[in-house]
Chains A and B, each alone.
Chain A
Amino acid sequence: SSSSISTAGSGNRADLEREQQGRVELRERYLRSLFAMAGHTVHFTMYERVNVSASFDASDIDILNFQVSNLQTPLGVHREALLRCSDIISYTFEL
């Protein structure tokens, strides 16, 4: 995550506000994409060419873990599971 409050230069107030406004817009859209994904089947591409799919339930606020249900894996179906986002390369769903 971007830990610094400002990366837009030497404390110029207008720049800071612009950056903060940009952060808000980007973040709101991302959170809405998570809402839109809830209850949908999501296909996950993991490292080592592993592909799984599951129904998306929730994420934590830092986007470190996804809670999913009916996780379909090559070894069977898990009714409830947590996926670590650090293991995921991408995920896809349809609207």
Chain B
Amino acid sequence: MSEWQRKNPLEWQTYVNKEVKVTAAEKHEYKGWVLTIDPVSANIVLGKLMEDGKISVSVILGHAVKEVEIGNEGDDEMKEQLAHLFMPEESKAYGQ
């Protein structure tokens, strides 16, 4: 089990709502805002706003994570958007 997979939920929570660069197996790299980290699988869920207004969600599997670098912290508006992204009742209002 990697160092990343061994972290506890409080450590993982420090990454939520931050912009990160994840280096994964086979030198794949991912950038985006951390939406959550599954405490069971250590999978990292990243969100990225696209130019067409859609949101691209990328998930890096916990076993494939090599390194996570923290960049910017989201402002309050960004945090609000990220927090409600998957909530069914909010999704309709999201695009308004």
Contacts and interface: CB of A to CB of B under 8 A. Distances in A.
Interface of A: 1-2, 7-8, 18-20, 22-23, 25-27, 29-30, 32-33, 35-37, 45, 47-49, 62-63, 85-86, 88-95
Size class of the B contact interface (CB-based, 8 Å): 35 or more
A95 B54 contact: yes
Contacts of B57: 33, 36-37, 92-95
B41 A26 contact: no
Contacts of A36: 57, 85-86, 91
A1 B57 CA distance: 22
Contact of B45 (A2, A29, A86): A29
Contact of B37 (A26, A62, A88, A95): A26
A94 B12 contact: no
A60 to B, nearest CB: 11
Given A29-B35, A62-B40, A22 B60 contact: no
B39 interface: yes
